[in-house]
Structure 1
């Protein structure tokens, strides 16, 4: 058993934060944006005297790709949106005269990609990897007491991603000001090397930086409890002895360590995400020069080869999903509420873990995971030196892999949610004789920055006798190989195993095709996929195959399903993915993949988003949601029937009925007549009545558990579409210009019953201090702009996303109308921020 005592950082942006609000401020407002290169010499967009008044004014975060337009000729693999190309961002600001004696930095949480930064015409830094957070020092070229011009150039190359990456400065930007003597960037690291029920030892490492003259310094740390919102509560629970430094040299960094004893610690876990904060105070010449807050959690983590994850001494099965970074109709531009909504929906399904595929997430994602109680496997790369696309990370690997990997770990190593670091996903070097040495090199970089967590990777190759990769990481992740679990465990019984990517079942919400087949290649029509949840690409399977693999091999730590939500790009099985052939080392398999690719390339595929999600792109639950909920929340009385029961063309025809339930027995009734009672066997994960003959009316399932009534579900035949019904996920909002309400419109008959096959066009209008920012319906084939106020319902549902206006409180009215149907309104209340 390898035990990992652990704690981590949970600050709102995942890094050390100055206590003085004025010292670290959002720098998102009032930028000027231009797509393309301005006229003139190279770098003309950085010139301080450039007239940019005609440029578009906007606030960050911003994704220029999501604005479209969709075009059929663009790759479906990356969403049929124009995310590539050069773009410029400029901001003019006045620096106070007092900045002359301070260090001034710009922190960019994410810019896609190849960002270069100028201040007053002088290049001050940049970073090519679009998923890395980075800092540039503005101090040398800043003009205190005068106007300054900041410029950022993005050069996002085409053919550089396998999914929709977004384009632009798509995460938050911060202006940070510090005294010459301060804590360095990401310069605190909190660990708990000794954890007992009655006491925990908390070690705080501080990297102190002095950009001024030599000086004496004193550093001390205090620990406070945090409430659920991340606010300090009560007095200090522990206080370190001050560390006195007689001299910190000019231009030097010094690493020091402090140790504190925390009595009666409350452990962080998904069930109870209790956090603390270490407040580190730096003084020089008798004055406080910096104060840094580092939120963390106390917990122990171990992976046992025979049992899986042991958290705080208890076995915790990983019930995880993989998630890309886009936010559906909002694109890649970060919005905290949109992220939180995704996590809320997943948590209700029973998800307790996220794999951040295939790159570092926004810092806010990790803050939410800390607060809400999700386990995180943070992944660094989708490719190493042998790239999968012409312009992907393979071009950066040699120069940047160490910088990117260290930046990821140092930024995020204080988050209690993170349980493992993944060094890569399905990298092509798996097939190279010396590839394992690259894996060992990357894992060693991770360990040099953080020895409190294990390393892993997602492997999709199985090499006879294995090829050394299994020794390079601490936990072996298998992608789509449940049959390999017992073989690997027998060959290496000391190495923990996890399903790092599983199932890849595909479906379209509300679509059902007949006849129903267990052949995973069937169930496809009209660029949609049947929601009987039996269809999958050739490398993948229905969910049950992985369930059986886990149940038959309880030493496996759990699974990360591909994927929690649909995402932009990769519309498999209608995807001409040029990387498919690269993932096969067997010549015959590669030849078959290349032939399929050639055939697919002849077809004009309209799809712009994936079918893998358990939840669709709009955030509407697919049938599969309830299959996983039944497995992951066995204590929840639930039942879910499929398909819907509106099939006038199928009267008298066999229409199979499936039931997902946490119960163990169920009886099915059609119009009050029993169609039989069925029991679930040990490896039955759904109940099936495959010979039901369709008749309109009411289909009802009555579910039992241990012989007692447990849950019920009914689907009914609806009449003609007659009305719209609106519901908002939240009606109380903050007037901060960022908060969102996700408003669902459902098409119903005159009795209020959902009309599941309706596709009426719905128009949305918003009045009051709010604005409509996007619409969607979850249809992967829709190429209507996400900014359109009109959206056809897809199988009875559509979505409007409404945002508040900054500083404007009051009632917001959202109205939905559709020709021939009774309209609907819903009122939201936008409140002034405290």
Structure 2
């Protein structure tokens, strides 16, 4: 017996028998409404609910699970709205095992929702669409089990129709069972993505039932092919589809008259409880192509009729563009080479956990775009649908990834237990959901899977690739390989696009052996650093530079398998056929705090006696506890969304036309007077002169494989450090760092001051510790207290410090190297002024006022 089915067989593509006999013409239009509000939640199984939860009994109508029954008393359960991540609520505990953030994400959780259906819904099909639930979900309505899905990252549907009660009260119950030791990073726990109630007539477009492709594209015209899958529940139908195509404006609204129209397809008979596919081909004249620079979109409006009567209308946004990979030229978008300036991103939103929030996602993408990022890899799982919607609208391309493992485990209870029964359902569902997004440019079937080292492993890779091609032949299939031999042992022959993890020295070798194969860096660098931390002496040995559970921000430190950014840049520049890279990672994420997830012997690599002694003490402490840190050090941006120095190294490369310069380290080193303190400069220029207190320390010119300029022999003295940068002999940019005064005041700024009063919109408010002249004091850690007045709430605070185990919900937070963050959320329907005040002992306080607007 298991506590939850691990091999559920009720899947999203099934069709239940129709309840009710209303004619299709009497049905109201399709509705898709948020089902997120007003749930009841409890951790653990209520008395009597666990004993009957085995696979054999779930589908038996005689099995009555107490917590799933409509009369079950849930009055004492917690009231909340979805999305919800129970793990992020904490508490943090050092003794939690594994590398998954020191937060309690595992266990059983129940969600129940009471709702009334209108009597007019009689005869309609009623579906519950769940964008993601972590994990092993089982769903009941009115006490009847209707299905579920084990993979926590999948989007899926259950049919409520047979047991729903139009005109009466209904109860949906959902049980999740998140096993311990089932993830390598923080997965979250709960219904952490959105839930929707979908209502249709019996004759309707199936879930993910429109598939739009653009087989021919030119500046004069684009051919648009639309394949529509229609299903008819409980009755035979004679169906046709008609389609109109509209341009969409920047807000996603239809713009003007249709740009293409086809009145009706050929008629097709749909047998009761079956599906039929109908295809139409339309021509869009003078199309506006979707691109990174100009993400123009269209929408196909599909109308289904049964014997001439309208039964369904579905809108499908899409883009017109060509996207190909060439073995010699790399990635081509609309025929033009576009280097993939990409980052890998896990799905958590830092202090908000894994509960999806569109504004939080949008903010991440805005920060990444400023750096020059144009591509996202969804490591290592299907993303939230909202990420792809944002990528479509904002102009990012996406590598859409399915799995972190196949048959062979990485952790004892991970997806390998579900792979045999579910991999095909999961992969098909993912591709059907995502294949209309113009941002998606490739499907990845796996990441660093252990089968790479098996003689017959390539056969499983080929099997997955064929599943993907069976759903979509317009995009290549790839995997992310971390074994050198995967470029030569057969794995390279079963993918359309070869991804290497951390192998810049192998690009040329694989290309020479398989010149027909496009190649890219599927995971690169894995440089580690802590924002604002600098350790001495500075070494190019990547094993050095870590102490005090932090990592130096000279951006030279990396785990054994990884490299500095400079090494990867050289690998690509030496092999210009490489399509680009996806850096590990864009933002820090919860879990996997390398290098503090092993015996941390690298802490003893210092030559300075004082640092060596301190490192030895830290190592002794580390051996007594599992791991002190909550989050990774890999991010180019820290967990709070503050830029690390590395941000500017990538910006210099990815935005070469942007005049920019960034000096490091900061210049507050009273203990280092007359000691060598190396200075690095990241810049898009090609030459620079460094000045200390007005005296030139030399002018340096960038060589052909130099990605930073270095003055390694600077002797520290307080004052002002200034770099003047040139490009092609002309003054280009400059940057200054200066020794600051003592901390004197707080400086507060919000990423946005006008918000929507919808209960979801967020403002990210940064607090800086500054001296009397307003300069950020880089080594300050003052305690900051936050207070809010007006129609909003402080939902989280953070500071980007990977070792900070204070609850994210705390309204107090120490600054970390001069910065702290408060996240403010609006209240639904309550407009007005929202004022956030920050205070700290001995410092001048500050506040910011936000305008929350109700619509």
TM range (shorter): over 0.9
Match of 2:221 in 1: 199
Cα separation, 1, equivalents of 2:110 and 2:561: 41
1:333 corresponds to = 355
Task: Tell me which residue corresponds to 2:835.
Answer: 813
The aligned counterpart of 1:37 is 45
Pairing of 1:525-544 with structure 2 (within 5 A): 525-544=547-566
Partner of 2:161: 139
Q: Which residue of 2 aligns with 1:27?
A: 35
Q: Aligned-pair distance for 1:20?
A: 8.4
CA shift at 1:21, angstroms? 8.5
Q: How far apart in 2 are the matches of 1:76 and 1:660?
A: 36
Q: Which residue of 1 aligns with 2:419?
A: 397
User: For 2:506, which of 484, 488, 493 is the aligned residue?
Assistant: 484
User: What residue in structure 1 maps to residue 111 of structure 2?
Assistant: 89
SS of aligned partner of 1:547: helix
Change (3 A) 1:177 1:382: same
Q: Is the aligned partner of 1:497 residue 2:545?
A: no
Equivalent position of 1:683 in the other structure: 705
Tell me the distance in 1 between the aligned counterparts of 2:621 and 2:281. 63
Secondary structure (helix, strand or coil) at the match of 1:788 reads: coil
* Corresponding position: 1:632 with 2:654: yes
Equivalent position of 2:208 in the other structure: 186
Q: Which residue of 2 aligns with 1:369?
A: 391
- Deviation of the 1:213 alpha carbon: 1.9
Q: Deviation per CA, 1:82-102: give whole Å up to 9, x if none.
A: 000000000000011111110
Distance in 2 between residues matched to 1:395 and 1:521, nearest whole Å:
36
Corresponding residue number in structure 2 for 1:780: 802
- 1:756 aligned residue (775, 778, 803): 778
How far does the alpha carbon of each residue in 1:574-633 deviate from its partner, in whole angstroms, 9 at most, with x for none? 11499xxxxxxxxxxxxxxxxxx9997655421010000000000000000000000000
* TM-score w.r.t. length of structure 1: 0.94
Q: Once the two structures are superposed, what CA deviation does each residue of 1:408-465 show, in whole Å capped at 9, x if it has no partner? A: 0000000000000000000000011110000000000000000000001100001287
* Residue of structure 2 in register with 1:356 after alignment: 378
Stretch moving more, 208-217 or 601-610: 601-610
CA 1:107–1:348: 2 relative to 1, 3 Å: same
* Distance across 2 between alignment mates of 1:375 and 1:638: 25
Partner of 2:766 in structure 1?
744
- 1:742-781 superposed Cα distances (whole Å, 9 cap, x missing partner): 0000000111111000000100111100100000000000
* 1:651-695 C-alpha deviation (Å, 9 max, x unpaired): 111100000000001011111111111100100100000111111
The answer to whether the aligner puts 1:506 opposite 2:522 as a matched pair is: no
The separation in 2 between residues aligned to 1:463 and 1:705, in whole angstroms, is: 42
Counterpart-to-counterpart distance in 1, 2:569 and 2:713: 25
Are the counterparts in 1 of residues 49 and 67 from structure 2 also a CA contact under 8 Å? no
Question: Counterpart of 1:556?
Answer: 578
Bigger relative CO (Cα 8 Å, ≥ 6 apart) = 1
Coordinate RMSD, CA, aligned? 1.6
Alignment partner of 1:381 is 2:389: no
Distance 1:623 1:242, change over 3 A: same
1:174 matched residue in structure 2: 196
| Structure 1 residue 76, shift from structure 2 partner | 5.4
Among 304, 328, 337, the residue aligned to 1:306 = 328
Q: Count how many residue pairs are aligned between Structure 1 and Structure 2.
A: 797
Deviation (angstroms), 1:243: 1.7
Does the CA-based 8 Å contact 2:243-2:303 persist in structure 1? yes
Q: How far apart in 2 are the matches of 1:349 and 1:750?
A: 30
Q: Which position in structure 1 is the counterpart of 2:490?
A: 468
Could you say if the C-alpha distance between residues 785 and 600 of structure 1 is closer, same or farther in structure 2, counting changes exceeding 3 Å? Answer: closer
Q: Superposition pairs for residues 335-734 of structure 1, below 5 Å?
A: 335-463=357-485, 466-576=488-598, 603-734=625-756
| Structure 2 residue aligned with 1:825 | 847
CA offsets 1:626-651 (integer angstroms, 9 cap, x no match): 00000000000000000000001111
Q: Secondary structure at the match of 2:848?
A: strand
CA separation of 1:420 and 1:205: change in aligned 2, threshold 3 A: same
With 239-248 and 219-228 compared, the bigger mean Cα shift is at: 239-248
- 1:439 is paired with a residue whose SS is helix
Structure 1 contact 76–606 (Cα < 8 Å) conserved: no
Matches of 1:791 and 1:771, distance apart in 2: 16
Q: Distance in 2 between matches of 1:371 and 1:534?
A: 35
Structure 1 residue 286 displacement after superposition: 3.5
Q: TM-score, normalised by structure 2?
A: 0.92
CA displacement at 1:556 relative to structure 2: 0.6
Aligned to 2:128: 106
Task: Specify every segment of 5 or more residues in structure 2 that has no aligned partner in the other structure, as ranges.
Answer: 1-26, 51-64, 601-618
Deviation at 1:706, TM superposition (A): 0.7
In the TM superposition, residue 75 of structure 1 has moved relative to its aligned partner by 3.2
Aligned to 1:590: none
Name the stretch that deviates more: 607-616 or 241-250. Answer: 241-250
Report the 3-state secondary structure (helix = DSSP H, G, I; strand = E; otherwise coil) of the residue aligned with 1:463: helix
Q: CA deviation at 1:696?
A: 0.7
Deviations 1:138-185 (A, max 9, x none): 000001111001000000000000000000000000000000110000
3-state SS of 2:845 partner: strand
Matched residue SS, 1:683? coil
User: Contact 1:527–1:605 (CA<8 Å) still a contact in 2?
Assistant: no
Residue from 234, 240, 248 that aligns with 1:218: 240
Which of the residues 117, 126, 151 maps onto 2:148?
126
Q: Secondary structure at the match of 1:550?
A: helix
Match of 2:71 among 49, 56, 78: 49
**Which 4+ residue blocks in structure 1 deviate beyond 4 angstroms?**
19-22, 597-604
